[in-house]
Amino acid sequence: MKPLIESTNATLEYMDHGRPVFALHSATLTINQGEFLGILGPSGSGKSSLLYVLSGLKQTTSGLVTYGGQPYSKLNDAQRSHLRLKDFGFVFQQPYLLGYLTALENVAVAERGSLDEAIELLGKLGLSAKLHRLPHELSGGERQRVCVARALIGSPFVLFADEPTASLDHKNGLAVVNLLNQHRSSGALVMVTHDPSMLHEADRIIQIEDGKLAL
């Protein structure tokens, strides 16, 4: 197996009223090329922090994270944004959409992929009838599915999904995970969740608690 993303003692420390808080503590982990890695942990355990660090969205306060052997810390801002734009697809925990654009426009605004692909993805997510709705005309679960389509467009090499099923019912949640898994390219799918029933298709599951990985 070929390592794609490697973290060594990755730590993310915040100061809270002068006291250190570890959102992530000495996380050492390898994500191999081609795998669906599930990361399971309760609320506040550091799941989002881990995903931000693994994708280079946040810099660690100590430790090392590499993508394809290259440390994120050695990349400049332009190189990091290029990576996010070209290689990575993200489903954030909060469904961030542009309020003045329709569902379809929000998906197609990504710099990769086509309008046809956006329509097809939204269809697979059960949103064919809502392509031209504005975000405030959609339910929370529908907005989350628009964000899933936006992450998938252009088939990014690595998909990061932060509780992508949190505002969906069980059936729609499983359908979203299935779609993410189907669209997994030869890169990787890294998904964090507090719901073990969403990780049936994962190749490997690791647990996080209090910012620490239990491998």
Ligand X SMILES: Nc1ncnc2c1ncn2[C@@H]1O[C@H](COP(=O)(O)OP(=O)(O)O)[C@@H](O)[C@H]1O
Query: Cβ closer to ligand X: 117 or 163?
Result: 163
Q: Rule CB under 5 A: is residue 167 a binding residue for Mg ion?
A: no
Task: Give start and end residues of each alpha helix (H) in 68-214.
Answer: 77-86, 103-108, 115-124, 140-152, 170-182
What is the four-CA torsion angle of 126, 116, 80, 9, rounded to 10 degrees?
Answer: 30
Closest distance to ligand X from the beta carbon of 58 (Å): 9
Q: Rule CB under 6 A: is residue 96 a binding residue for ligand X?
A: no
Answer with the entry of ligand X, Mg ion, none that 16 interacts with (C-beta below 5 to 8 A by kind).
Answer: ligand X
**Total residues contacting Mg ion (rule CB under 5 A)?**
3
Q: What is the separation, in whole angstroms, between the first and last Cα of the chain?
A: 18
**Total residues contacting ligand X (rule CB under 6 A)?**
12
Binding ligand X (rule: CB under 6 A), the pick from 3, 21, 94, 96 is 21
Closest distance to Mg ion from the beta carbon of 91 (Å): 12
Answer with the entry of ligand X, Mg ion, none that 63 interacts with (C-beta below 5 to 8 A by kind).
Answer: none
Q: Rule CB under 5 A: is residue 48 a binding residue for Mg ion?
A: yes
Find how far residue 151's CA is from the centre of its chain: 8
- Residues 6 or more apart whose CB falls under 8 angstroms from that of 215 comprise 29, 206
- 103: closest CA among 72, 140, 130, 63? 130
The pair of structure tokens assigned to 201 is 């298709």
| Contacting positions for ligand X (CB under 6 A) | 14, 16, 21, 23, 41, 43-49
